[in-house]
A and B are shown apart, each in its own frame.
Chain A
């Protein structure tokens, strides 16, 4: 823990070696988050780059070093949302209405590789992609998402419902393709 604090102090003092060490420690996991919120590798790298610049610039504001991982994750997610914000408004999310959500259907993600699942998320429409990530993986409630994106709670729910059905469809297709490949 002491070593960890030394590392943070080094980063605050703009010691490039300490900054690189912190980057190496968190970048792989954060890169995955960036991928989940972006459509391409280039976008994900841009988000990661911008996130770490913000992280290094604001480290001195971090009050408790024990929260570092959560703090870094929050910055990365916010940067990703900012990055996509312009596009979100160009392609606005609307309330689809009459949502029918079912929560008991079984899923088997273990049949799929990580990169396949990631591609499924990336292939979602941007609004659905962002809301799916925030709700299903990050654990935000629809109310929080609505506040964060300044949309209505209903829009968040309907977009999520759409994301969910699209993903199920893709999972089904993937499973069929895999079975097909096996059969062949």
Chain B
């Protein structure tokens, strides 16, 4: 059929080509108000996300501040690997000749060297009360050192003196150890006592400092006490054997960090079901199955053939918008460090996702005056609902929509930083098991409805999500760890069933905080 040559159509087209009708002012007023409302909603969402981030940042900052103010980082410095690095750096400084005044300046700390027991006690006093016992040991040791003729050094100390004064080749390891001893210096600055200036070069006297010094190294438990007491044997700090022990200690500590942990977690964020109706129209076959109406189609109640999906296509909300609202999850998790760089973890959580849905149509049973959201047909049969019409309203209804799930995540983590503060990237798969969807109208104009998992539900009983995130961990109190993890989830499979009137592939942005107990 060639339309363009037809006078009839051309006349109508020409007649309406430039036809105008001025709308009433009220139309713009409504548009203005809707636009303003949407702007407000958008701002609210933004503010909510900012609040969430701010809260997470505050918690994180408080955590950092708390641990930073205590023993936390000092013990970190006392870790052998940290000591080694810092000692090497300082050695370099010393070798390059900086700060070697030879008189009143400590070559390492750039402070006046300690000259007396009182000085040392003063510094010890600055350490925590918890070290009182430790401090007394030091005093005893210094007294013993005095008895043995070891005197505190007044000036700077040069590394070369060590070997010369001992009259033997000091192994590099020993020199490193000396460096480390220097760097325990928050309580006993190295150089303040020249343990190598024993006038009799009595090697047996030097190990008397080991309990204190090794304590500073936090490795006393790894050194057999009999060796400390019998320094002529393996506990000789200048022997390769001793260094081997030290290395072993270091390895042990690292191995200690290979661990299993379990914890609890709480997440909050935003969830978007990404529901799309697409064309959302019934196919021709659907229509013929649905309706047996005549061509005039006047006032006929259609036969729905009890086919909910087909009916839903017809009864789809004419205008539906989904707005993400506050969502949360809580649960337990376990993890295991499978290699120095990788961890694997899993868990189970209860997940409550919230959205608000704005619709302008609903179904109605005119006989009973029951009005329900269109989706209610998934929880009641068409017959029992007695649906007689799909109504389009000039007003919009804002419905609360809650999706509840049991969520089972499995993920791998890769350490980017593995210190006391750990930072890792995480990626994994989460299976969400659908429990129910509750649709409620706060204004009570429409009945609330629950759609539970099952054959009548438009949702699959479970669907898969891919998850990407980054996690920051903060260890405290030896066995505990605080974690903060922003993550993004995207549905890998459809949440909606194939024959549903819509498609849904949800996405979500969550920030998770958790506390874990580490089994060493």
Listed in ascending order, the chain A residues whose CB lies under 8 Å from chain B are 14, 16, 19-20, 23, 27-29, 31-32, 35-36, 42, 45-46, 48-50, 52-53, 56-57, 82-83, 85-87, 89-94, 96, 101, 103-109, 114, 117-118, 125-127, 135-137, 139, 141-142, 149-152, 155, 157, 162, 164
Contact = CB atoms under 8 A, between A and B. Distances in A.
B8 A107 contact: yes
A14 B3 contact: no
A48 B27 contact: yes
A19 B39 CA distance: 14
A157 B9 CA distance: 14
B362 to A, nearest CB: 11
B24 A125 contact: no
Contacts of B297: 90-93, 125-127
A95 B26 CA distance: 40
Contacts of B296: 125
A103 B5 contact: yes
Interface stretch (B30-38, B60-68, B180-188): B30-38
Given A89-B287, A89-B290, 18 more contacts: A20-B28, A27-B28, A28-B22, A29-B20, A32-B16, A49-B34, A82-B319, A85-B281, A86-B316, A86-B318, A86-B390, A89-B302, A90-B300, A91-B297, A92-B288, A103-B7, A105-B8, A109-B11
Interface string B282-300: 1110011011011111101
B167 interface: no
Nearest to B292: A92
**Which one of A94, A149, A157 has the greatest number of beta carbons of chain B within 10 Å?**
A94
B7 A106 contact: yes
Chain B interface residue count: which class?
Answer: 35 or more
B284 A29 contact: no
B9 A136 contact: yes
B290 A91 contact: no
Contact of A135 (B9, B28, B38, B282): B9
A19 B314 contact: no
B168 interface: no
A57 B280 CA distance: 21
B39 A89 contact: no
Interface in B262-307: 279-284, 287-288, 290-291, 293-298, 300, 302
Nearest to A102: B8
B392 interface: yes
B11 A107 contact: yes
Nearest to B39: A14
Contacts of B313: 89
Given A49-B27, A150-B279, A137 B16 contact: yes
A136 B17 CA distance: 11
**Which one of A29, A42, A105 has the greatest number of beta carbons of chain B within 10 Å?**
A29
